[in-house]
Amino acid sequence: MTKKDDNISAMCRPAIGEAGKTGDWRDKRPTIDHNKCIPFIKKKPACFLCWLYCPDGVITATIPISIDLDYCKGCGICAEECPAKAIAMINEEGKDD
């Protein structure tokens, strides 16, 4: 925490999880099948369309890709846009269709 400026009465500080763990908004959980994922098969940076289209930036452009399930809101854009259909949306426990 840096020193407070006396001229500013209300100032916000950046923090991850400003709205709490937004992962609990989710009805469906994205699950990756790495054997279908293009960068994982090719073993080099490619595709990463899930990273590109994720509105919350919780998917990493790494090999293998990983999803931060603490903050993933479960919109399902990644599963919809994946050209290899490597991401499936699976119901969270206790939540039905």
Binding site for another protein (CB under 8 A): 10-22, 25-26, 45-49, 52-58, 61, 68, 70-71, 73-77, 79-81, 89
Q: How far apart are CA 69 and CA 60, in angstroms?
A: 12
Q: Considering the complex, what minimum distance in angstroms separates the CB of residue 37 from another protein? A: 13
Closest CB 21 distance from another protein, rounded Å:
7
Q: Which of 94, 95, 75, 78 is closest to 32 using CA atoms?
A: 78
Which CB sits closer to another protein, 45 or 64? 45
The answer to whether 28 touches 76, Cβ cutoff 8 Å, is yes
Q: Which tokens belong to 25?
A: 């908004």
| Closest to another protein by CB, 12 or 93 | 12
CB of 69 to another protein, least distance (A): 11
In 3-state terms, what secondary structure has residue 22? helix
Q: In Å, how far are 31, 60, 85 from 23, measured between CA atoms? A: 14, 16, 22
**Shortest distance, CB of residue 15 to another protein, whole angstroms?**
4
